[in-house]
Amino acid sequence: MATNSENTTKYARLASVLRERIEDGVYPPGSPLPSENQLTAEYGESRATARNAVQALAAEGLVTVLHGKGAFVRRRPTDRPNQTHTRDVTIKRDADAGQDGGSDAGAVAVIDTDADAFGWREVEPPPKLHTEARAEIALTLGQPEHAPVLEYPRLLTDRAGRRLSHKTVIPFAVLVEIPALEAALDSEGFPTGGQLYAILAAAGHTLAYTDDIRARMPTPDDSTALRIPGGTPMFTTHRAISDATTGRVLAYEETRRSADDTQLRYHLTTADTTAANR
């Protein structure tokens, strides 16, 4: 009878052979691995050993296992990413303003090129939730824990089938202070990120944006909603929208997406702070 250490050695040895074949290009990115039956026939191992070897490669991020279809080789980290998400905040002025920012934005329209970009659409009508700020969000907003907030979660998709989870959180205190924002909620349902920025700017705030990006493993609910393959991490971006003068955080956004074969792109500019420091 085989011991546990012997079984471990068998599947580790088979995983090593398959790993070498992937690295040598025998199984190129996107190609399927041999099935469990084929691996059993070729290497004389049990189906359990073959299954464990494939699971080990999946845990390393080398393959993606699709239920009922088999295991497929993922793109190598050195390859050019298949998906690039650009995160910019673009400002339009004068004649173009009314088209995107609405009349409440005055002469300025703002477009968040992430969730507002052309091609994203809602998977289902999103709810507006009157809720309380959880500890992490309350800390970001500078609000007491359980302070009343308005939360707006959206699940988006594009023509390629990619999915993006986007959530906006606004403190009730900010809603009360800015009538135009409350009016937009009543008349238009909920402003997009760009529309929100434009309304805040029109209310006299010079806006600053701070993004914190984390890579972590998704929860089962995230995997299902975002269609993230097993063993694949996701990107979570936390954005604080604040008043650049006072530092007060006016709103919070959270974006979640699969990190599989994906990169985030930021266009950075150099700010001249010479005059401000005089």
The per-residue DSSP string of 11-70 comes to: HHHHHHHHHHHHHTTSS-TTPBPPPHHHHHHHH---HHHHHHHHHHHHHTTSEEEETTTE
| HSE-up of residue 23 (Cα within 13 Å, Cβ side) | 7
Instruction: State the DSSP code for 226.
Output: H
Question: What is the band of 97 on the pLDDT scale with cuts at 50, 70, 90?
Answer: very low
The tally of domains found in the chain comes to 2
Mean residue pLDDT of the chain comes to 80
Burial of 169 (0-12, 13-18, 19+ CB in 10 A): buried
Strand partners for 210: 240
pLDDT of residue 15: 93
pLDDT band at 80, cuts 50/70/90? low
107 with 153, same domain?
yes
Domain end call among 54, 73, 92:
73
Per the structure, the complete domain to which residue 57 belongs is given by 4-73
192 plus 159 within the same structural domain:
yes
What local confidence, expressed as pLDDT, does residue 83 receive? 62
Q: Do 57 and 109 sit in the same domain of this protein?
A: no
For residue 239, give the nearest of 199, 197, 274, 270 by alpha carbon: 197
Answer whether residue 78 is part of any domain.
no
Matching residue, tokens 């934005």: 105
Higher pLDDT, 231 or 102: 231
* pTM of the entire predicted model: 0.65
